[in-house]
A and B are shown apart, each in its own frame.
Chain A
């Protein structure tokens, strides 16, 4: 095999910390856009969070959205420009906290968009505060003794939550903690985009990702944390597939 930087991924250094999963996921999305040949008609939305500079790394049109409003903005774009491929790229703070209403309603309406949801169980950009997806017992700057079941409540499982909605077409949870899972993640992202291109409706791919800096561990320990701790709370797999394949 040959392996070179794909065309849709801008040839530049990212601002992400060493071992952050965003770089991997950016590359996978870019590769899928190139393989499907849809880069020229793709419009993405950038979130607020660590990936706020998403538009600096991808060679497609990208709109920066107010915090959490990506699914609403993507809805508008897709309805006005149905021939274009529209996807949102969101973190757990953007999608599952401030943007939960937009997420649920866009999913329930069955908007024909693709959502890439990066779950790293913490607020990265703002310095490691608790996110809706922070694990029980996991320490953050706002849960110094660890997230408590009685105090902060258990983590929100977005795939499970959205799987109950009739409008949703495809939900899969994947991870980028090792190469095998990275390859699976690309397949899931590809399916998410294909669903949209073929007009099947709302697709979301949740990607469990590493945040070594705010977890305060080494990149290798962070990959291990995803593999053992996160996967036990957020099991990988397909949560909904209306296409049935």
Chain B
């Protein structure tokens, strides 16, 4: 399972990550962050996330990070 982390204060709410996710793991929030933007959030549970990283590729604000469990957990900052 992939550990996906979203920094909601960095998110500007563009929604490009939601568009890219082929597994429906992400959705936009209904409320806003401190900057007044809606933000991307996990849609349900993280179980559906395969850790493909396409959402990270599209995020203009580098607000999404992913750490797969198979790899060295020391690299996981979250």
Contact = CB atoms under 8 A, between A and B. Distances in A.
B42 interface: no
Contacts of B77: 4
A14 B61 contact: yes
A20 B60 contact: yes
B54 A219 contact: no
Interface in A146-196: 178-179, 182-183
Given A2-B75, A179-B20, A13 B61 contact: yes
Given A3-B66, A19-B60, A223 B75 contact: no
A183 B56 CA distance: 11
B55 to A, nearest CB: 8
Contacts of A2: 66-68, 71, 75-76
Contact of B62 (A1, A20, A23): A23
B66 A179 contact: no
Interface string A223-242: 10000000000000000000
A3 B13 CA distance: 20
Interface residues of B, number: 30
A121 interface: no
Interface in A1-36: 1-5, 9, 13-14, 16-24, 27
A14 B54 CA distance: 21
A171 B59 CA distance: 26
B27 interface: no
B15 A219 contact: yes
A212 interface: yes
A19 B15 CA distance: 8
19 contacts: A1-B53, A1-B66, A1-B68, A2-B67, A2-B71, A3-B65, A4-B77, A5-B62, A13-B61, A16-B60, A18-B37, A21-B60, A23-B62, A24-B58, A178-B19, A183-B57, A218-B15, A219-B14, A220-B15
Interface of B: 10, 12-16, 19-20, 37, 51-62, 64-68, 71, 75-77
